[in-house]
Amino acid sequence: MMSSPYVVVVTATNFTQEVIEKSSQVPVLVDFWAEWCSPCKALMPTLIKLAESYQGQFILAKVNTDEQQQLATQYSIRSIPTLKLFRRGRVVEEVAGVQSETVLRNLIDKHRDRPADKLRLQAEAHRFAGNEAQAIEILRQACALEPSYDDIHLDLARWLLESQQVEEAEVILKALPVNIQTEPRGQLLYHLLTFARITQQAPSHAVLEDRLRADPNDHQARHQLAALQVLAEDYPAALENFLELLRRDRKFNDDAGRKGLLAVFNLLNNQGELVSRYRHQMTRLLY
């Protein structure tokens, strides 16, 4: 085993100090292994690589189960390699067997303090105070600081969509790993991207509402207003406008009313009383 300040050999004597106490500062990944275990040896280079890559943002603690049977019994080790991640004195994650680097990074990243998170908190404070432009700029800095931190990029994409900066949001979404794009949170943002495109040339809520009061058959105004309402998370109002658009003109903009309803249903995970009610009303109009 290579010598590294981020890798420590743990025994029953120093376990409390090196794992329990140190996990209050950074995550400690405990690797229960043995010399005779081929999978343990296959996993070790990945663990060492990660320890060096993270430069102290987590500590790798190695426990030889043949020599430290007391610890193996105490932590119910039934097969090796087994990895247990400690944070603030307790086990927060556990996996057994050889794991990929991606799996291990995701496991560690969930529990380490990340520099970008501090910036995200600052951005959220500015956003709450109404300083949207400043909030977005700080979040851009967070993305630049940790380019592989997908959650930050998803946050930025959503904020950009809500502020109608559609092109930049689309670039961010398309640059994300495919598995993130196809996850529910990625798919949700692609739905929002569709609505944001509808609103790109739209006037304000107030102007659109005035247009509809003057002419309830102003389908473009109703379509744009519904999209703006989706971006503002006013789903009941958006569904009502998409339903009214469907009722008044099924053919408008290639069945925009029905498509809008279905997209909002997807945003709401196709669950809940609101979805059930408007799906029933949509079905009555269609059939």
In this prediction, residue 163 has a pLDDT band, given cuts at 50, 70 and 90, of confident
Q: Are 81 and 93 in contact (CB under 8 A)?
A: no
Q: pLDDT tens digits for 79-109?
A: 999 999 999 899 999 999 999 998 999 899 8
Question: Omega into 5 within 30° of 0, i.e. cis?
Answer: no
β-pairing, 7-9 vs 59-64, is parallel
Tell me the sheet residues that pair with 94. Answer: 84
Which sequence positions are flagged as catalytic? 37, 40
In this prediction, residue 219 has a pLDDT band, given cuts at 50, 70 and 90, of very high
Token readout for 213 is 């009061």
Q: How far apart are CA 70 and CA 36, in angstroms?
A: 19
In this prediction, residue 146 has a pLDDT band, given cuts at 50, 70 and 90, of confident
**CATH fold of 205-286, please?**
1.25.40
Q: How far apart are CA 48 and CA 25, in angstroms?
A: 20
Q: Model's pTM, two decimal places?
A: 0.62
- pLDDT reported for residue 2: 54
β-pairing, 82-87 vs 90-96, is antiparallel
Q: Are 276 and 252 in contact (CB under 8 A)?
A: no
Query: Helix, strand, or coil here: 83?
Result: strand
Q: How far apart are CA 11 and CA 23, in angstroms?
A: 16
Place of tokens 């009610």: 277
Domain 115-188: CATH class, spelled out: mainly alpha
Q: Are 4 and 50 in contact (CB under 8 A)?
A: no
Superfamily the domain 7-109 falls into: Glutaredoxin (3.40.30.10)
Q: What is the DSSP letter of 80?
A: S
Picking from 215, 229, 231, the residue whose alpha carbon sits closest to that of residue 169 is 231
Domain parsing of the chain, residue ranges:
7-109, 115-188, 205-286
Average pLDDT over residues 200-224: 94
In this prediction, residue 117 has a pLDDT band, given cuts at 50, 70 and 90, of confident
CATH topology identical between 115-188 and 205-286: yes
